[in-house]
Amino acid sequence: MPVRGISALGSGVALASSWRLGDEAFLGVARHEVAHALGLGHCGRWDCALSERPHPMSLADRPNELCPGCMDLWDGLCRGLAP
> How many Cα atoms occupy the beta-carbon half-sphere of 11 within 13 Å?
10
Q: Which of 30, 34, 43, 74 binds Zn ion (CB under 5 A)?
A: 43
The yes or no reply on residue 67 touching Zn ion (CB under 5 A) is yes
- Asked whether 27 and 62 are in contact (CB, 8 A), the reply is no
Is there binding between residue 40 and Zn ion (CB under 5 A)? no
Stretch that binds Zn ion, among 15-23, 57-65, 67-75 (CB under 5 A): 67-75
Q: Does 25 bind Zn ion (CB under 5 A)?
A: no
**Which one among 14, 16, 29, 70 touches Zn ion, defined by CB under 5 A?**
70
Looking at the DSSP assignment, which residues form a beta bridge with residue 14? Answer: 7
Angle, helices 68-81 vs 23-38, to 10°: value is 60
